[in-house]
Structure 1
Amino acid sequence: MAGKKTTQQLAQESPAAVLEYLQTSWQGLTAQQAAARLKKYGPNQIVKSSHQSQLKIFLKNFVSLMAILLWVGGIIAFLAQMPELGIAIWAVNVINGVFSYWQEHAAQKATTSLMKMLPTFVRVRRSGQLEQIAVEELVPGDIFELQAGDAISADALVLEANSLQVDQSALTGESVPESKQSTYKPGEGEFAEANILYAGTTVGAGTGLAVALATGMQTEFGHIADLTQTQSQTVSPLTQELNRLTQQLSLVAILIGVAFFFLAIWVVHYPLAQSFIFALGMIVAFIPEGLLPTVTLSLAQGVTRMAKKHALVKDLNSVETLGETTVICSDKTGTLTQNQMTVNHIWLPFREFQVTGQGYEVNGQVKYRGQPVQLAQQPELQKLLTIAALDSDTRVEAPQTKQSQPKLLGTPTEAAMVIMAQKAGLDPDELTQRYPRVKELTFDSQRKRMSTLNRLPDGSLRICVKGSLGDTLDCCNRILDHTGIRQLTQRDQDRAHKAESDYAQSGLRTLAVAYRDIPADQVPADIDSLKVANTEKDLILVGQAAMADPPRPEIKAAVKKCHDAAIRIIMVTGDSPMVAQNIAAQIGIVSSKQARVITGKELTQMSTTDLQAAFQQELIFARVAPEQKYKIVDTLQQMGEIVASTGDGVNDAPALKKANIGVAMGITGTDVAKDAADMILTDDNFASIVAAIQEGRTVYNNIQKFLTYILNSNVAEAVPSILFLLSRGMIPLPLTVMQILTIDLGTDMLPALGLGSEQAEPGLMHLPPRSRKAHLLTKDVLWRAFAWYGLMGSLVSTAGYFFVNYQYGWPQVALAASGSHYVTATTMTLAAVVFCQIANVMNCRTQSASVFALGLFSNYKINVGILAEFLILLILMYVPLLRGVFQTGALNWADWIFLVCIPLPVFLIEELRKAIVRRQKGLK
């Protein structure tokens, strides 16, 4: 900021005083002054906070709690004299860490912000000469010029304004452009001073001259960016839950290891060293080595699927966070609405017309009582439309392709009027040629009108006027209705004001249209002699056009889906309370227009306790400042909510960073917002958030399915060792530690990865978000994994072990503890666990729905995984080198018949259980 005076203080001083304060002049700075100030204030650019080096980002993938557990597990394997297992476990950790880094790096690279909101060049006066300089070289005190389409490069004071209108929606969320002038006027809400321009906003129409007050990080744009960068990243619920799960499983593994250590000493009478190695092997066996890579891959697959649905996620854990979202704080402009002003109704003194079509589409229609109108039969309507098209500096260029959008050259309000005429069949360009403009009386915020003088074919002039109803009526003494032109009465004015009020209650703003013809013989020779005073008088009121920024067509259905999923949506916008309230009610965010609206001014006076109490009812926030959006998100988080905050403007960035999941708009979103967000919608479609939420819930469910799957095999792995201990060694180990690790790191891994890509279960989006008190390792997961799937697997695998021994003479012959018979028996136990897992991976695809509802073979990754685990088993059994390492052998034809009979009954028994559960819960 220049000196110690704030922008708001300088706004209230005269231009001469500001120029003196900044030590500059109308001629601009000299080259020497500019160079000195550039050195003092620094480049005019937004400086990003320092980020972690790529090395630190890479290494963080190897120091999570689960990763540390795997490092320790590898060490234990080496201590247990099993180097192959140690190497395998470490390899899993390395591969997972590299994969995680690659996924996050690719996402971050795709969303790297280049800060393109600021223009590349700016036109400044230096020593009285107009120069074009790089925007980074602009300094406080520089005098610079503006014209329509320019992005504003600094906070600045307006010195001259000619119909200057600025789009400030990136800062305020207000879709209606602000008129700017050279005299101070406070305005309503934040950033509303009439003579102040803010960096990051855009000139919509007109021209101007301004003096830079602040540049770079000292601008309001820079302050918001700095506030965003100083916010610490919140830890995702999934990260917290995985840490908790790792602690739980680690504790279980250690307790089992300790128990097996003492049992080996007391029951089997193993030597101390042998008991220790046996216990270490069991600890390694019970560490879920596949958890981290499976979770990472499941999240990565979620990222890929979401990208296809127009949602680009920058961090893997953000996928699951979306699934836990309980509240969405949504901006309005450009997020819930189209950010395209659209005329909905045309009011004439005797009739009202409806205008159809969304946004800047030109294929809508003007209708009366549901039927398209014929302009030849509606001369009064045709006159209003013609005046609206002529009294405009805006043009809308047709899209170049079917996929592209029309190009707007001017302000959204004027564009709405032009499109209105096009929808009725008029061609604005043809009208301009037929009735050429000879003079323009530009819009200003004092009289709130704009007029053009167009020459008619007979040589007369038509004065075309549009503006606010009250200010336009002050210039009217006649009115046009179906009977013709007559005197304007008080009753006419009352009816016009009532129509304006009715439209306002529906969230619409109006523009009045009027005109007056100057006969050819009365047109002065000097057109410039026609000023406001002698032109905008004795006008004829034609009617009003009512317009609004319409909701996106798909929003209502998306909002309903959120409500079905028990997700609350709260509108948080910089727009006016009335507009926000009407839009919220229209799309179903609130149940009625009576919902409470809290303005930024009211929010400032509310304590955290008051705000928390207010959240107990339906709420809408309007006219809020950036730091207030942050306060709203923070308060919700203190109440235990998982908050997703959406937005596209600079003003949304702090809240996006603070939220558990920040969602920015990819098309209309500012670079600051994209940089702060966790997810970017590449189509700016709110409905994509709903798809992302479903994807997040699906990912979490799939992780639970994976947990159920790997834990049930741990039971089948543990029971043989328990039999060994309880029999005091009379039952030799049916499954060796190497074979246990074969299941964990080999045969189980690929089918488990297939579970990570399972589709959503039916009815998932009709369930509420999971409770913050709920955990991945639930009672239901434990029951199904240990007492149901695990029990079936244990019985089957144990039966397989004794089936082989039976063929060799058991129980008449003692169980072999070594030799080929023992190798065959342990191989059979391993194979029985694998074949039982083939059935269980199909069972784990759903929690209560029938697998047939999804399609028995619809998940090709699981099908490939099943085939792969079968091939791995064959390789271990028939490749001589591996047979020696894993202590496996070949099976005979009777053994294979036993194995083939395992999956089908295990699968059908579970289908029966699910059917009973569905019937008890009243589900289909």
Structure 2
Amino acid sequence: MTKSKLTTDQLAKQPVEQFYQTLQTDQNGLNDDAAELRLKAVGPNTIQQTQSRSQFKAFIKNFTSLMALLLWVSGLIAMFTGMLELGIAIWAVNLINGCFSYWQEHAAQKATDSLKKMLPTYTHVRRNGVTKQIDATELVPGDVFTIQAGNSISADARIIAATALQVDESALTGESVAVDKVPAYQKGAGKFAEQNVVYAGTVAVNGTATAVAMQTGMQTEFGQIATLTQHQKNTVSPLTAELNRLTRQISLIAIMIGLIFFVAAIFFVHYPVAKSFVFALGMIVAFIPEGLLPTVTLSLAQGVTRMSKKHALVKELSSVETLGETTVICSDKTGTLTQNQMTINHVWLPDHEYTVSGEGYVNNGQIQLDQQPVHLADHPALATIVRVAALDNDTEIQAENSTKPKIIGTPTEAAHLVLAQKSGLDLNQLRQRYPRVQELPFDSDRKRMTTIHTQPNNAGAIIYVKGALDGILAISDQLLENGHARPITAADITKINAANQRYAAQGLRSMAIAYRNFDGSQGLPADTADCTIQNTEQHLTFVGLTVMADPPRPEIYDAVDKCHRANIRIIMVTGDSPLTAKSIAVKIGIDSEQVRVITGDELAKMSDSKLQAAVKGEVIFARVAPEQKYRIVKANQHNGEIVASTGDGVNDAPALKQADIGIAMGVTGTDVAKDAADMILTDDNFASIVAAIEEGRTVYSNLQKFLLYILNSNVPEAIPSVLFLFSRGLIPLPLTVMQILTVDLGTDMLPALGLEAEKSEPGIMDQPPRARTAHLLNKSIIWKAFGWYGMVASLLSTVAYFFVNYLHGWPHVALAATGNVYVMATTMTLAAIVFCQIAAAINCRTQVTSVFKIGLFSNHRIWFGIGFEIILIALLMYVPVLQGLFNTTGIAGRDWTLLFCIPIPLVLIEELRKAVVRHQIAK
């Protein structure tokens, strides 16, 4: 295909046949070979992403933070005061930390980019004369594709056929009012105003259409705008903002402590200024949490990756934090709480009730009356209801295999197609005998769908209608009974409603079926092309009900139980009948028999204050229009709840955007819903929401464990300097600045990173949701880091220092400030801190659960980190070059025995403390 140089307006004006010739296509679309060649020629149908900042700027940013600037200056001063090795070491710390931060951010970005690739948009195209579903990125100019309400439009295209199509073009024009689109060309006012053209990036909000792609990818109007205006905006989540504040606070505290010790060293110990500065620098380095932010970023990114393996695709890292705070889930029923495998098991007619055998979307059953197979020829009314069910239908079933057919459309319509197959009808032959001439699409206001067909043997046209019972009964004045139509009576309506309520009480869903002969009477137009909702959907003949079952998902019971234990309320919001909704809710344990059921009509009349009061209790919302979800979400948020809301349709978008966590269905959800959501379920399963909430809580808990671990080493790093200061220099520094850096950026890092991979702690879903006002660094962490882990490590490391000196004559001789004994003492102090950190890494794995219960060796990353730090401290002790640089020396075998014994009592004592806490919680 040669690329057309005609403008969109020129292509829109061409006669249809000439238009097809220009694009070298026809009404049957392209074949696969032609489409592949065009895809190679024009490229994928995507908007190329540009970055708002260069990778170089992203790299440099990691070396200009408050902490980084502090270390640059400190290293420079150390060099000028004659301590070249220390200055180089400090700068090396900065380089390592900056590079590590950049690598972590890059890894996190790659993780989120890979997730975006897992969220494809699909398009239904005509290829080789057959409708098939393809990834929208494979759409090419000349492709014939279909549009339905809720679809994001994937290309600039010309409409060939349309039924009540309305498109939201606000993404291009800023005008929020949907515009009508028709096949006939008509130029409106302004740009993007051709009535027979739809544009990429816009959304179909009503109706259906068939269109031919003219431009794709960056050649679309949306793509051309993107090349001029595209930029990537990074938002800072509350968690990231808190971590930034935490880093600044700790850095400022470290600087203040350093200044105090600097002044004290000069005036109290009478150190020279240069030596006092190095001393103060050691205190600053001891308190700065190197590696905190990059590790948090990696933890969030890996949390997102783990969620994706549990069928929950989180679009932004910041959403992970919010998941852990969720207090209310406003959930759809069909497909989320249930299997979305609608199967018609009853057909109710005024004169008979039929049963339908067979499960799922496979043709392996039959229609029966009193357990005997039924032939449609012997049951005219049954034949009518089956025919309407099959023809008043926009869904297709593609049998990929015998158990998992592909549904292109809705599960409810798929169930009706299967009903026709089970009755012995050939769908293709049926469609040829009753060709469709017009459609009045389903919408959430009417809750019904109408199609108009021509009948065989020139018998005229017929109107088929299916939808919600209350709406269809309201416009029916005839009843089909024993194959003949007669006026419907009040007694008939009572009988029909009683049957419907009986099914609903069993958790079944029914759909009403009706028809009308197109005989030009009672307000019908002369031509079927002039049919509208107003002049067509009236004076119907009611036929009967198709009754469907959509069983709960097997895993839903455990998921609901987890929510109850976690103090997370579930509010069912469904379009089904009150009886059906209550039946399912009670069956799966969401609500009790005393639950209040509020219908959409009642909700429309309720004031905001009454709604806010209602959602505080046990409540179900039934027969609710999707747009009413917005009010339900807002009411819960007004009550202080953190709300997760599910949705799949166009009208769900406001509720998804308003919710703290909007959750779209990945299988049945429209493109609009997916775009509005924060999270997408690839299996449309409520249990995946609960798994994501559990993962969100786990990520936050692991961040606190990491924070506890890195902060607890600050105390044993600082205590030696305190001893030196308060002894006025009589106790030489038990730990040098280089050794402090060894702990912070050498031995500590890998075990700390291992903590972020810790699995969910048992009982994490038995706790109430975290309050939004809760802080990452809370009193419990401060107490354990500084008052428990830190003080114990300080005591043991100080004992190790004095133990070496004791073996060499102290207290009978003064503590050595230089020489081999001093080097041995500082080495043992450093090693003791490292082995205390081994115990801390094990203890930090759980908050109250015994580490032996989760498996002492279950986290391989922790033990890899522990092995690394033991090897590193050994290298520092025995490699000559490192000995001189870090002021270390080799130690005796008895010293190693002592070091390996240190973690054992520390772990056992902490296990005893956790046991006491568990006992107090159990009271």
The normalised TM-score by structure 2 is: 0.72
Q: Distance in 2 between matches of 1:70 and 1:107?
A: 27
* Whole-Å separation in 1 of the counterparts to 2:155 and 2:872: 65
745-754 or 562-571: which moved more? Answer: 562-571
Q: Structure 1 residues 327 and 493, CA, compared in 2 at 3 Å: closer, same or farther? A: closer
In the alignment, which residue of structure 2 is the partner of 1:127?
none
State the SS of the aligned residue for 1:111: helix
Distance apart, 1:77 and its partner CA:
4.0
Q: Partner of 2:891 in structure 1? A: 891
Give the match for residue 99 of structure 2: 94
Q: Which amino acid aligns with 2:270?
A: H
How far apart in 2 are the matches of 1:204 and 1:342? 26
Structure 1, unmatched stretches of 5+, are 1-23, 35-44, 123-133, 139-143, 172-179, 183-194, 210-215, 220-224, 517-527
2:477–2:487 Cα contact (<8 Å) kept: no
| Structure 1 residue 638, shift from structure 2 partner | 6.8
Over 3 Å counting, the alpha-carbon distance change for 1:600 and 1:158 in structure 2 is farther
Q: Which has the higher contact order (CA 8 A, sep 6+)?
A: 1
> Which amino acid in the other structure matches residue 295 of structure 1?
V
1:346-361 aligned within 5 A: 346-349=347-350, 352=353, 360=361
State how far apart, in whole Å, the 2-side matches of 1:55 and 1:268 are: 50
1:779-798 aligned at under 5 Å gives the runs 779-798=779-798
Further displaced range: 648-657 or 432-441: 432-441
Distance in 2 separating the partners of 1:636 and 1:908: 45
How is 1:587-602 mapped onto 2 (pairs within 5 angstroms)?
594-596=596-598, 602=604
1:766 paired residue number: 766
Decide whether aligned partners of structure 1 residues 778 and 363 sit closer, same or farther in structure 2, where only a CA change above 3 A counts: farther
- Residues 257 and 416 (structure 1 numbering): CA distance in 2 closer, same or farther, change over 3 Å? same
Q: Deviations over 1:464-497 (max 9, x none)?
A: 97757648974546427xxx99999875564234
Go from structure 1 to structure 2 and tell me whether the alpha carbon gap of 1:287 and 1:466 turns closer, same or farther (over 3 Å shift).
closer
TM-aligned CA deviation for residue 590 of structure 1: 6.0
Aligned residue type for 2:96: A
Q: Distance in 1 between matches of 2:384 and 2:152?
A: 33
Q: Distance in 1 between matches of 2:665 and 2:490?
A: 48
Amino acid at match of 1:711: L
1:417-459: CA deviation from partner (whole Å, max 9, x where unpaired): 222355xx54432x8779994777977699968678679xxxx
Alignment correspondent of 2:523: none
Q: Summarize deviations over 1:21-45 as a string: whole Å, max 9, x none.
A: xxx99978999xx9xxxxxxxxxx9
Name the structure 1 match of 2:246.
Answer: 245
Partner of 1:75: 73
Residue 261 (str. 1) matches residue 265 (str. 2)? no
CA contact (8 A) 1:121 1:135 kept: no
> How is 1:630-645 mapped onto 2 (pairs within 5 angstroms)?
641-645=641-645
* 1:114–1:291 distance in 2 versus 1, CA, 3 Å: closer
Mark the CA change 1:613 to 1:582 in structure 2 (over 3 Å): closer, same or farther: closer
Q: Is the CA contact 1:47–1:217 (under 8 Å) kept in the aligned structure 2?
A: no
Q: Give me the whole-angstrom Cα distance separating, in 2, the residues matched to 1:64 and 1:656.
A: 35
Q: Is the 8 A contact 1:581 1:597 kept in 2?
A: no
2:109 matches 1:104: yes
Map Cα deviations across residues 516-565 of structure 1 (whole Å, 9 max, x no partner). Answer: 9xxxxxxxxxxx9xxx9xxx9x9998742134877656455434433432
Contact 1:330–1:569 under 8 Å retained in 2? yes
2:89 alignment partner in structure 1: 84
Structure 1 residue 805 displacement after superposition: 1.1
| Separation (CA, whole Å) in 2 of partners of 1:466 and 1:672 | 27
Evaluate the alpha carbon distance shift between residue 539 and residue 28 of structure 1 in structure 2; reply closer, same or farther with a 3 A threshold: closer
1:27-426 paired onto structure 2 within 5 Å: 52-55=51-54, 59=57, 63=61, 67-80=65-78, 81=83, 82=86, 83-111=88-116, 200-201=203-204, 235-330=236-331, 342-343=343-344, 345-349=346-350, 352=353, 360=361, 375=374, 387=387, 396-401=396-401, 405-408=405-408, 414-422=413-421, 425-426=422-423
Q: Which moved more, 1:71-80 or 1:617-626?
A: 617-626
Q: Which amino acid aligns with 1:264?
A: A
Deviations 1:298-349 (A, max 9, x none): 2233233222222333443433332223344556676556667653542244
Q: How many Å separate the matches in 2 of 1:73 and 1:598?
A: 62
Residues 1:817 and 2:817 are matched in the alignment? yes
How far apart, CA to CA, are the structure 2 residues paired with 1:64 and 1:252? 21
Deviation, 1:737, is 1.4
Q: 1:781 offset after TM fit, Å?
A: 1.1
Deviation string 1:757-781 (CA, Å, 9 cap, x unpaired) is 1111111012112112221221111
Work out the number of aligned pairs and report it: 819
Instruction: State the Cα distance separating 1:883 from its structure 2 match.
Output: 0.7
Q: Name the SS of the counterpart of 1:889 in structure 2.
A: coil
Aligned mates of 2:561, 2:18 — CA distance in 1? 60
**Aligned residue for 2:826?**
826
Cα distance in 2 for partners of 1:848, 1:864 equals 24
Change (3 A) 1:639 1:488: closer
Q: 1:236: how far off?
A: 2.2
Deviations 1:784-811 (A, max 9, x none): 1222211221121111111111111111
Distance change (3 Å), C-alpha of 1:386 and 1:664: closer
Map of 1:855 onto structure 2: 855
The CA distance in 2 between the partners of 1:444 and 1:295, in whole Å, is: 53
Counterpart residue number, 2:695: 695
* Structure 2 counterparts to residues 424-435 of structure 1, below 5 A: 425-429=422-426
What secondary structure sits across from 1:698 in the alignment?
A: helix
Of the structure 1 ranges 869-878 and 393-402, higher mean CA displacement relative to structure 2 is found in 393-402
Are residues 103 and 404 of structure 1, via their aligned partners in 2, closer, same or farther at CA, if it must alter by over 3 Å?
A: farther
Distance in 1, Cα, partners of 2:490 & 2:832: 94
Secondary structure of residue in 2 paired with 1:270: coil
The aligned residue for residue 511 of structure 1 is 512
Structure 1 position 235, deviation (Å): 3.8
Shift of 1:601: 9.2
Contact 1:556 1:588 in 2 (8 A): yes
Aligned-pair CA distance for 1:241: 2.4
Q: Which deviates more from structure 2 when the two are superposed, residues 885-894 or residues 392-401?
A: 392-401
Match of 1:754 in 2: 754
Q: 2:482 aligns with which of 466, 479, 484?
A: 479
Letter in 1 for 2:813: V
TM-score normalised per structure 1:
0.72
Amino acid in the other structure paired with 1:428: L
Q: Please report how far the alpha carbon of residue 850 of structure 1 lies from its aligned counterpart in structure 2 after TM superposition.
A: 0.6
RMSD over aligned CA atoms reads 6.0
CA gap 1:438/1:668 in 2 versus in 1, 3 angstroms: closer
**CA contact under 8 A between 1:118 and 1:200: conserved in structure 2?**
no
Cα separation, 2, equivalents of 1:397 and 1:797: 71
What does the per-residue CA deviation read over 1:163-186, in whole Å, with 9 as the maximum and x for residues that have no partner? x69899999xxxxxxxx999xxxx
Query: CA contact under 8 A between 2:335 and 2:685: conserved in structure 1?
Result: no
Cα pair distance change 1:203/1:555, threshold 3 Å: farther
Q: Give, in whole Å, the separation in 1 of the partners of 2:431 and 2:15.
A: 40
Aligned to 2:771, the other structure's residue is in SS state coil
Q: Which runs of 5+ in 2 are unaligned?
A: 1-11, 23-43, 128-138, 171-180, 184-195, 213-218, 442-447, 518-526, 532-536
Corresponding residue number in structure 1 for 2:132:
none
Distance verdict in 2 for CA 1:71–1:404, change over 3 Å: farther
1:679: how far off?
Answer: 3.5
How far does residue 264 in structure 1 lie from its aligned partner after superposition?
Answer: 1.7
| 1:397 to 1:624, Cα distance in 2 relative to 1, 3 A | closer
Identity %: 49
Verify the 8 A CA contact 1:108 1:314 in the aligned structure 2: no
Taking the aligned partners of 1:897 and 1:146, their CA distance within structure 2 comes to 75
Cα distance in 2, alignment partners of residues 564 and 862 from structure 1: 30
Q: Structure 2: how far apart are the matches of 1:654 and 1:347?
A: 37
| SS of corresponding position for 2:482 | strand
SS of 1:346's equivalent? Answer: strand
